[in-house]
Amino acid sequence: MLLADLVAASRDVAATRSRKEKTRLLAGALLAADADERPLVAHYLAGRLRQRRTGVGWRGLRDLPDPAPAPSLTVAEVDAAFEALSRLAGTGSAAARAAAASELFGRADAAEQAWLLAVAVGEVRQGASDALVTEALALAAEVPLAEVRRAAMLAGGATYVVAPAFSGGVAALREVGLTVGRPVLPMLASSAPDLPAALGGFGDREIAVDAKLDGIRVQVHRDGDDVLVVTRSLDDITDRLPEVVHVVRELPADRLILDGEALALDEDGRPRPFQETAARTATSGPHQATVTPYFFDVLHLDGRDLHEQPARERWAALEALVPEPHRVPRWRGTSAASDEAHAFTDRVLADGHEGVVVKDAAAPYAAGRRGAAWVKVKPVHTLDLVVLAVEWGSGRRKGWLSNIHLGARDPGSPTGFTMLGKTFKGMTDAMLAWQTERFRELATGPTDGWVVEVRPEQVVEVAFDGLQRSSRYPGGLALRFARVVRYRDDKTADEADTLETVRALAARD
C-alpha cells in the first residue's frame, strides 16, 4: 500500500465528525491494503507507529529536507525505516539517526511529510481512536464487534487481532486468549465523588475495598525465569524496575500474570511523591528511590486462566501466591457494612495513600474496560488534563515556565481540547525546573514571549475545590483553586478527561 493512499484516508477521516463515516473510511482503508500489510496499516490508521520508541522527536525533525515532487513511499518502507531508527544506539547513533530520518522524509511529498512528522511525535489528530479502529475492523472483516472487542482486549489492542479477524473470522478471534508474555489491556475503574456513593452502587453484594496507591500501574508476566514488566500503556519497563523482577521471581509459581502498583516509599513506609516513582520508569540505571511492588489481581497462574473467574476466586489465588507485604491493603465484606468500609478508608488516607477502589467480588476481570465493577474514590476532586500553553514566571519564579493552561479533551473543538483554567499552585522547585525543560521541548513557536504555546501532549493531574460557570472560557466552566498533584507520564493526551466528564461533575456539584 502506498503511504499516499493511507495519508489520504487519514485526511478524509479527520475531515468528518460523523463516527459512522469515520468507521466506514477506516474500514475501506483496511480492505484496500494487502493482507500481510493490514496489521501495520491498522497501527497507522490509529495514529501511531508500530515501534514504541524510535529515538526521533520534535527537536530532531525541525529542519526537514525539501519534499519529494511525487509520492513513492510504501507503508512497508516507512515501517522498515522507523524500525532501523529504533535500533540505532551507541557512539555515532545521533548522527546516523539524523541522516536516516532525513533520507526517509526526503522521499516523502509535502502531504506525506506532514503525516510522518505527526505520527513520529504522536500528533496525528484525526479523531480515530482505538475504539473506532476496532469498529472499523469488525466492519471490514464482517465479524461481530463484540468478538473483536474481546479479542483486542486480551491481545493488547485491535491492531493485534487484524490478521485473525480477516483470516479466520469469529472462530479465530475466539482462539485469542491470555498468553503469558503478551500484555493485555488493564481493567479500569469508574469514579464516585465519595464512599457512600460508591457503596450505594453495589446494593448488598460482597465487595472489597482496596487502597488506591499513588504509584505506577504495572502488569507483570513470568514464564520461568523470564519476567516482563509493563506500564498501564503496555510499555516495557522491565529493565527499569529490577526490584519488581526480584520479588516476582521469588513467588512459588512458574507462569503467572499479575496486576498491581509499584511505588517508592520513605523510611517510615509512607509513599514518596509520585514524581520519584515516575522517574524510575523514565530511565534505567541507578536511582535514589527504590520501588516496592504491591499486587491486587492475578489473571493467570501455572496454566490456569483466571480472568473470567469471579474476583473472589482471583483474590483467593492471589493471597495464596503473594505474601502480604506485597499485596495491596484490602478490606472485604458487604457494601452494607459501611462503618467498617469507612474505617478502612480512613486508615488508608492516614497512611498517605490517595483513596480507595471498591470492587465487586463476583465480577470477572474486564480487560480494557471501565465499568461499574470497580469504582475509585478520592478525597478531593481530581482531573487528568492536558497542558495547552505555559507562561513565564515572575518574581521568585523568574526564568522558569510556571503558570500552565489546562484543557479537557473535546472532540467538538477544532483543536480537540477546551481550556478550563490556569494554575501555578502545587509546584515544587524541582517540578518547575522539570517543566521548564519539558515545555521548551513541546513549544510550537517562539519561547521568548510571555505565553508559550505547546503541543497538547503532557497530561497533568490537578486537584480543585469545585467548578464554576465562566464566560471567559469556551466550555462555560472554570476550575476553582486548581493545583498540580503530579504530571502523568503514564498517560497520553488521548486518555485525559473529557469536557463531558467535567460537565457531569459540575452537574453533580
Q: Is it the case that residue 26 has pLDDT exceeding 90?
A: yes
Instruction: State the pLDDT confidence band at 358, using cuts at 50, 70 and 90.
Output: very high
Type and span of the H or E element at 343: helix 338-350
Partners of 486 in beta bridges: 461
Percent of the chain with pLDDT over 90: 64
| More confident position, 398 or 299 | 299
Lowest mean pLDDT among 12-16, 48-52, 93-97, 302-306: 48-52
Query: Active-site residue among 20, 22, 212, 398?
Result: 212
pLDDT in tens, 330-339: 999 998 878 9
Residue 287 confidence (pLDDT) = 60
Q: What is the mean pLDDT of residues 168-196?
A: 92
pLDDT in tens, 191-231: 888 899 999 999 889 999 999 998 899 999 999 999 999 99
Residue 288 confidence (pLDDT) = 62
pLDDT in tens, 113-155: 999 988 887 777 766 577 889 999 999 999 999 999 999 989 8
Are 275 and 431 in contact by the 8 Å Cβ rule? The answer is yes
Among 356, 265, 365, residue whose Cα is nearest residue 306: 365
Q: Is it the case that residue 384 has pLDDT exceeding 60?
A: yes
Instruction: State the pLDDT confidence band at 509, using cuts at 50, 70 and 90.
Output: low
* Three-state DSSP class for residue 54: coil
| More confident position, 75 or 124 | 75
Type and span of the H or E element at 151: helix 145-155
Strands (E), 27-158: none
pLDDT in tens, 14-24: 888 898 999 99
Instruction: Calculate the average pLDDT of the chain.
Output: 90
In Å, what is the CA distance from 356 to each residue of 18, 242, 456, 482?
A: 38, 27, 30, 22
Type and span of the H or E element at 382: strand 381-392
Q: What is the largest CA-CA distance in the chain?
A: 72
pLDDT in tens, 246-292: 999 999 999 999 999 999 888 877 888 776 787 777 666 666 678 99
C-alpha to C-alpha distance for 257 and 263, rounded to whole angstroms: 19
Residue 53 confidence (pLDDT) = 79
Percent of the chain with pLDDT over 70: 97
Q: C-alpha grid cell for residue 400? A: 522558569
Q: Strand 255-264 relative to strand 304-305: parallel, antiparallel, unpaired?
A: unpaired
Report CA Rg, the chain. 23
pLDDT in tens, 81-114: 999 998 988 888 888 999 999 999 999 999 999 9
Contacts for 42 with CB less than 8 Å, ≥ 6 apart: 30, 133, 137, 158, 159, 162
Q: Is it the case that residue 450 has pLDDT exceeding 60?
A: yes
Q: What is the mean pLDDT of residues 353-367?
A: 94
Residue 369 confidence (pLDDT) = 85
**398 assigned to active site:** no
Find cell 490556569 and name the residue: 422
Q: C-alpha grid cell for residue 160? A: 493485534
